[in-house]
Amino acid sequence: MLNSRVTTSLLQHPTSAAIRRAFISSSSSPSSSFLSSPLVRSGPLRFPTPTATTPSLLRHCSSDSHSSSSSSNPKSKLPNANPSSDKSTWRAMAEKDISRYLRQTHDRVFEHNRAWAAEKKKADPDFFANLSAGQTPEYLWIGCSDSRIPAEQITGLEPGDAFVHRNIANLVCNTDLNVMAVINYAVRHLKVKHIVVCGHYGCGGVKAAMSAKDLGILNPWLRNIRDVYRLHEKELDAIANEEERYNRLVELNVIEQCKNVVKTAGVQQSYAENSFPIVHGWVFGFNDGLLRDLQIDFEGMLKDIQKIYNLTES
């Protein structure tokens, strides 16, 4: 049973009326249990805002065959919530169903894992033996934590191809020991050949940094992006269109983080000795799923930086 505060929080969501209707429907009709609905089978749990064109919440939560049959059946539409219904009844039902939902979505990950492992082994019987022998990735990927941008999937890379670090707005801060340790290990021990800093248009972290709001613990983190704006203030202020200015800040943020990578001793020393790694700046677009190469002039950037940040001597 989930803590009642969790349930209360979920039920206070803007779409809570639709959620309550689903719970009421399941409690009043065992044969159409909420737990057998497509919502449970095809997470993650998302509640779209109901509109006149979205009469059924369940229709928007699945793309499987069950969803098709549900959306085509008029009886599958959620009934209207009864304001006078006993809140304790649907609230108890919510706790039970949410608890079961969380268990099912947890178990589904392991089902997918077993299917993936079986498929890999079938295609290559030595796949996991080779994987366990060690890693020699060609790439270090520094990206945003946004769940919609999985590095391997959008690039077609396989396990063992990329060493991955992700954080909010793909920042490379010299005070962040996490990213500094990742860069050091990737360069000095894994001998990566490419370091990619990948941002994305529509980045929530960049957008938050552009707002004049106190965001609590995020303030010191987002200040790094505000500093990027300050460095390029004239260029950005000259862009009248807000969305275009926002997208340009995404690109400039990637470029500045590439500079921060180049400032590290490991990258400078490895390049002086081995002519690698090369640093790249990319941006991912949700509208077409394509990566855009910002064409970073790595050698020129390195030369400019080393006037002040030269750390080639070990």
Domain 136-309 has CATH 1.50.10.10: no
Q: Which residues pair with 200 in a beta bridge?
A: 284
Quick check: is 203 catalytic? yes
pLDDT over 70 at 41, yes or no: no
Per-residue model confidence (pLDDT) at position 46:
44
Q: Which pairs with CB-CB distance under 8 Å and at least 24 residues apart come from 289-295?
A: 289/154, 291/154, 291/155, 291/198, 294/251, 294/254, 294/255
What is the pLDDT, as a whole number, of residue 87? 64
- One of 148, 189, 223, 230 is an active-site residue; which one? 148
pLDDT value at residue 32: 39
Q: How confident is residue 176, by pLDDT bands cut at 50, 70 and 90?
A: very high
244 has pLDDT over 60? yes
* CA distances, 268 to each of 164, 224, 236, 259 (Å): 20, 23, 30, 11
Q: What is the mean pLDDT of the chain?
A: 80
Question: For the chain, what are the domain ranges?
Answer: 9-132, 136-309
Quote the pLDDT of residue 89.
62
In what helix (H) or strand (E) does residue 151 lie, and over which residues does it extend? helix 151-155
Over the stretch 115-141, which tens digit does the pLDDT of each residue have?
999 999 999 999 999 999 999 999 999
Q: For the chain, how long is the longest CA-to-CA vector?
A: 76
pLDDT of residue 11 exceeding 60, the answer is no
Please report the pLDDT score of residue 141 as a whole number: 98
Instruction: Respond yes or no: is residue 173 known to be catalytic.
Output: no
> Which is more confident, 50 or 140?
140
**pLDDT classification of 50: cutoffs 50, 70, 90:** very low
Name the residue with higher pLDDT: 19 or 250.
250
Q: Active-site residue 59, yes or no? A: no
Name the more confident of 51 and 291: 291
pLDDT in tens, 181-195: 999 999 999 999 999
User: How much is the average pLDDT of 273-288?
Assistant: 97
Distance CA 56, CA 215 (A): 35
Q: Give residue 62's pLDDT.
A: 38
Q: How far apart are CA 263 and CA 304, in angstroms?
A: 10
> Is residue 314 very low, low, confident or very high in pLDDT (cuts 50, 70, 90)?
confident
List beta partners, residue 139.
Answer: 162, 194
pTM as predicted:
0.71
198 annotated active-site: no
Burial class (CB in 10 A: 0-12, 13-18, 19+), 202: middle
The active-site residue, picked from 20, 165, 166, 203, is: 203
Has residue 70 got a pLDDT over 60? no
∠ CA 287-169-308 to the nearest 5 degrees? 125
The whole-number pLDDT of residue 68 equals 40
148 is catalytic: yes
Question: From the candidates 61, 144, 198, 258, which is the catalytic residue?
Answer: 144
Per the residue annotation, which of 20, 59, 146, 258 is the catalytic one?
Answer: 146
